[in-house]
A = this chain, B = another copy of it.
Amino acid sequence: MRDMTETTPVELLVCTTCRRGLPVEDDAQRPGTLLHKALEQAALPEGITLKAVECLSNCDEGCSIVLRGGPDRWTFVYEHLSETDHVETIIEGATKYLQTEDGLVKWRERPEHFRKNCAARIPPIGALK
């Protein structure tokens, strides 16, 4: 395991406008906002910055997050997340992602929810010829 302080910082983006298909009227109670709040209150490791995004445009498969971190890492989008069930999963997956240089956590080491609910991965800038 790498020393986390050696790696480029990571951003954890949370779609705060997500309704997760629910007829929510109160913006402050949207599932995406609640997921963001739950992660704010959780203990994210140093090197991971939580950020709110208004709509990641994955509305039918929410709640959604993005993990990215500098020009050398793959970016990942994960979906079907909830504020009640997946806070620890997200922290575990984000922590392992932080510990990589290229963003590619070994398949069997990824949280099961991440393995089964990846919406997309995008290569690092400069990785392609």
Q: Which residues of A contact B (CB under 8 A)?
A: 11, 13, 51-53, 55-58, 64, 66, 68, 75-77, 118-123, 128-129
Given contacts A13-B128, A77-B77, A128-B13, contact A122 B66 (CB under 8 A): yes
Question: Is A120 touching B64 in the complex (CB atoms < 8 A)?
Answer: yes
Question: Is B122 touching A56 in the complex (CB atoms < 8 A)?
Answer: yes
Chain copies in the assembled complex: 2
Contact of A120 among B11, B51, B57, B123 (CB under 8 A): B57
Interface pairs A-B: 10 shortest CB-CB: A57-B121, A51-B128, A77-B120, A58-B120, A57-B118, A119-B120, A120-B120, A66-B122, A56-B120, A119-B119
* Secondary structure dominating the interface of A: strand
Question: Is A122 touching B64 in the complex (CB atoms < 8 A)?
Answer: no
Query: How far, in whole Å, are A92 and B97 apart by their CA atoms in the complex?
Result: 35
Contact of A128 among B11, B55, B77, B118 (CB under 8 A): B11
A66 proximity list for chain B (CB < 8 A): 120, 122
Query: How far, in whole Å, are A121 and B13 apart by their CA atoms in the complex?
Result: 11
Query: How far, in whole Å, are A68 and B53 apart by their CA atoms in the complex?
Result: 18
Question: Is B119 touching A77 in the complex (CB atoms < 8 A)?
Answer: yes
